[in-house]
Chains A and B, each alone.
Chain A
Amino acid sequence: MIPRIEYYKFENLSEALSYLRNNPDSKIIAGGTDLIIQLRSKKINARKLLDISRINELKYIQDGSEYFRIGALVTIEELKKSKVIKDYAQPLWRAVNNFAVWQVRNTATIGGNICNASPAADTVPPLIVLEAKLKLQNIERVREVKIEEFFKGPGETIIERDEILTEIVIPKKNSLWRYSFIKLGRRHSHILSIVNVAVGLKMNNTKIEDAIIALGSVAPTPVRAKNVEEYLRERQATSKLIDEASREVVKDIKPISDVRASAEYRVEMSKLLVKKALNECLDIMK
């Protein structure tokens, strides 16, 4: 049993939002795959739970001309089976194909993966690279924030107590962009990442016009590797450039040692994985 709580469930968004306005001491539960464990281990104390898992208006993948939109309650398994995600959000698709196990993917939501704000969350580096925005809604208004600006530290975000993450908005970018994602875990997918890396390169023939790189598990929040990006921009893609640029990643990360790996190991693996992900990205183009 977990500590005592009061449980509330609403099936439509506006009811849930007005409940939340009046009960700011409530914790939201979606799939519960992070939260139930945190409640049990008393890492989180909550008196009240707001169950949003039955709000069907937050379960959709919408394919538009400039953007596509993912409702916050879409499960990881649904993303894995989605052709839209496979076609337009390659790095995210790769991430959900290396995510947890079947039972967990069936209940775990993308919104929960983001809002849990684990530095290891697998969907986040891909969403950073895809330049996703998050829609945060309270009873009066909706605001949109860039996903990179959402995180403050492990388990901490800028979300207000009366807000629900309702949607992830991903711009459709032009076809010059190429992507890759690599996850290093102790076991293929069962376990949280030791390091994960997503890369997006905008290529003009062999020249790198633009680069976006994001890593997880190597700092208190998922991070952009801005030094690597800067090193790559407007340069010819040679293997020497990739080697040198990958080493720059040490300036972008602040890893710690934990039960999964030591800080030193994470530094070495970050260099290696950035290099591998960049090469993979360039390989796709051959």
Chain B
Amino acid sequence: MGRWITLTVNGSKRRVEVKDNEILLDVLRDKLKVKSVKAACWRGECGLCSILLNGKLVKSCLVLAVEVDGSEILTVEGLARDGELAPIQRSFIEHGALQCGFCTPAFVLASHKLLEENPSASEDEIKESLSGIVCRCGTYYEIIEAIKDASKHYQVRKKV
């Protein structure tokens, strides 16, 4: 029937049986129970299904599970270290950068990746990098403030 693939999800190895036509997004949510990854449009438009796949930000609704056998996946569940939230997570809380919270995991993950790559990202660069994620509650202003504020922690990290 299906075939077994191995994924490293947030640091732990997971084996899962998938069919050739199964979408990674559905496997993550329904089979591996990684529920921070949201499904809304299934057609590459909302960005809520964003994950880090082998270190690159991608939309998991545009990927087949069989394509990524052997890959590493990071979602927002994997950001905290030893029970401590990542600076970007704390900053989202401090700035109240959410209302319903549905878009939050995607924004947190994308901004974490952005700041790791470019801790001194300008406001324009922040906006461009996040333009693939939709917030229906319209909390963009707070999100951008949260990212600008968190950036200092990533600058420090990059120096050491």
Contact = CB atoms under 8 A, between A and B. Distances in A.
Interface in A1-56: 1-7, 9, 29, 31-33, 36-37, 40-41, 49, 51, 53
Contact of A2 (B23, B58, B129): B23
Contacts of B63: 32, 36, 107
> Size class of B's contact patch?
20 to 34
A33 B21 contact: no
B-side binding surface: helix, strand, loop or mixed? Answer: mixed
A41 B43 CA distance: 9
B57 interface: yes
Interface in B71-124: 110
A189 interface: yes
Interface string A77-104: 0000000000000000000000011111
A20 to B, nearest CB: 18
Contact of A104 (B20, B23, B44, B66): B44
A36 B47 contact: no
Interface residues of A, number: 30
Contact of A1 (B26, B57, B130): B26
A106 interface: yes
B21 A189 contact: no
A32 B47 contact: no
Interface string B56-69: 11110111101100
Contacts of A32: 62-64, 67
A190 interface: yes
Interface of A: 1-7, 9, 29, 31-33, 36-37, 40-41, 49, 51, 53, 100-104, 106-107, 187-190
